[in-house]
Structure 1
Amino acid sequence: MPAERPGISVIVPTFNRCEHLAATLASLAAQTLPRDRFEVIVCDDGSTDDTYEVCLRFRDELRLRYRYQEDLGFRAAAARNGGARVAAAEVLLFLDTGTLAGPDLLAGHLAAHEAAPPAGLAVAGYTYCYHPYGSPPGLAGLLEAHSPAEVVRRHGEDAAFQDWRHDELVRLGFDLGRHGLPWIMFWSMNCSVSAREFWRAGGFCESFDRWGVEDMEFGFRLVRGGVPLAFSRRAWALESPHPRDAEGNAASNRLNLAKLLDLHREPLIELTWAVFTQDEIWPLETDHRELVEWTARARGLRVRDELERAAEELRDVPPGRIAVFGCGDDVPAALAGAVLFDFDEEVVGRLNASGLEARAAIGLRVALPAESMAAVVVTSRLSGLADRWAGRIAEEARRVGGRLWTASGRAPGPVAGAVAGAVAGAVDAHGTHGGQV
């Protein structure tokens, strides 16, 4: 008689961490959920250690399958997708190697999915001791002497042992539905999604070939596709200590943030790039809310007069070598050939419908190569964002163009002076200023 179809498939990507894998598999063998209700798929990204032998040791304790892919570099996303392709269950749970499942982890994820709305659900589970760049002191010794459940019982209320997201989750009452951007909390060391919604969203993006960001990018696509995100404290796990390359991971994260922006060229993700590259996460929700509010307020802000003056004062610059940040929807013919950007996607849509080519961007990091423009025009449409972002807009203007034009004191709002001052300061420091402010 064929085995009963499992309710949940646990997908564990791994690479040369056989001892940590053994600990993860042991924690899965100790679940309250009966063994016939779940399967485990170990997705080996080309290990050369005893990973396969570890899997063999657990074949009598777990309903376990082993999947191998050649080592072609960091391919955690491909490993997860490969596991999902062979998974038999309707719910996919992703668990990192070295993440130790609490006894009720699988039952907790299944309970959340059983209560899911018709659109499906994705669930992030609480992960004790998860900190991107280190582990709580003494954790290794505690795990040698006690089970994960006992460690959590003894130390789960200690701030150093709590999930890195804990304070933000407390603010939300552990309800991701109260967060404007819940995907920034969807992390792959402990998360689940229905197989249907996983494939509808396209799975993990395999172009991410370094550590970081690919899980949030997947969560972003889930939310955009209408899949709600939930959080479960019952579905908890504990991140065991392991060596981390903090500097390497930080550098990798920045490269993947640039890839995220290349994949999703829109103001929200441009803002995400700007916030995260300042080593921040939680201010993003507030920054995005302020962007949305300013976008609504700026709908009636016309800058045609500024653009006409800019065209006249930059008449020696070919229009194709001018970029405009905050162009608005009334662009004079003299700048019709400029590279146009505006943060209001409705404005961009109207410009494109009229035959002009415009792109949705704030001006924090636009899709232009360095030094590709001869001049950058920054209009007063950015005045509502200047207090927070004038310096970064200045950096970007200097990156893409040699000359900066603002309406100076004649433009309403602080952006002209703030951006001009920031650019002038940066340019003076480098001795490379080639145009007017």
Structure 2
Amino acid sequence: MQVNETLNEGLKRGYHITVTADELNAKVDEKLKEAQPEVEMKGFRKGKVPMALLKKQFGQRLMGEAMQEAVDGAMSKHFEESGDRPAAQPDVKMTNENWKEGDDIEVEMTYEALPEIPEFDASELKLEKMVVTPDESAVDEALEKLAESAQSFETKKGKAADGDQVVIDFSGSIDGEVFEGGTAEDYPLVLGSNSFIPGFEDQLKGAKAGEEVEVKVDFPADYQAEHLAGKEAVFACTVKEVKKPAKAEVNDELAKQFGAEDLESLKGQIRERLGAEYGQAARAVMKRQLLDQLDDKVSFDLPPSLVQAEADQIAHQLWHEENPDVQGHDHEKIEPTDEHRKLAERRVRLGLLLAELGRKHEIQVTDAEMTQAVMNQARQYPGQERQFFEFVQNNPQARQQLQAPLFEDKVVDYVFDQADVTEKEVSKEELEKAVEQLEAEEAAA
């Protein structure tokens, strides 16, 4: 086998690989010898078929497999000896298309090599970690929100208004005929909840307890029950009671509704939750500081194909955000701008840097971490969790999409541990302002 370099410009590499006919025949003979003990043929005992006959019978069939293995072996040996790591799948083409048995195999291989990532001292990175201690006002605010979500309704006098609850009996009919599923008794309906057919709740506003109200509505044309879709219906309603919302009291009873023993225990849970939320927000701000410093400190050549692919993806994604009505991808090609390419260079540079740090320090996503990530994602598909698990298990690309951010976070945490991190006590408002600025910068990017 011969490997001759034909291209070496920046990160672009090209090689001419020759696998001789003798090497190829040796590979075929090797395969035949492996199979010989199990081959049975008329006139010969099992395992005693002569090699010459085996080659005549099966040689042609094994030739393609041998050619592929020979080329793959040549490529693997080249990468092992050169130390190159291709940025993407190498482009491999056989140059002697009129190849016939007895000829050498001539192959052209081109690829972009991953760059050498320069060393840097993470301890020289200076980061500031914002620390927010949940104060009583934040805890009280969270308690008020819990009380609002746990609201009940108490009987009121007068007319029903938006947000009130009316307890009604109703019977619906179409063309004078009562239809199935259109009747109920003591039904609690919150006006403004939009839980009934459009227009139904509006006609009950202003009603008082004891009144009879005739509600006329049109079922939507796309209503799920086909026999009702697009039909005009009349509901005879009896308002039995009108109730106004009553916010729950902030006390031990409220705490028990949310699984706590008492109010103090609930406050402790809230402080813990707020602390975790503040910590996540502060980490996002510090991560941006880290990436900005890495982008400024570490420079190296980037594989042009990776930058182009990332720029294309950025341009395509932003175009769809600006044109939300276009759902498909059968539109004209979106050409990336200089700004798109600049952002793509940053993303590729930081991605390669973090990947190299992870590789060098043997940082890996564990099976337990991966399983937890799949479980978290599966919760977004209630009732279909098992199908989602199977989809991820059988789809390498889906697994990679879940694994990539986990890996990045573990590498970032590693660098955090090495860097010079100073904690700074700030208010909740200061942290919120920093997060808003971070989101604005990311949106602009």
TM-score (norm 1): 0.20
Larger relative CO (CA 8 A, sep 6+): 1 or 2? Answer: 2
Q: Which has the larger radius of gyration?
A: 2
Taking structure 2 as the reference length, what is the TM-score of the superposition? 0.20
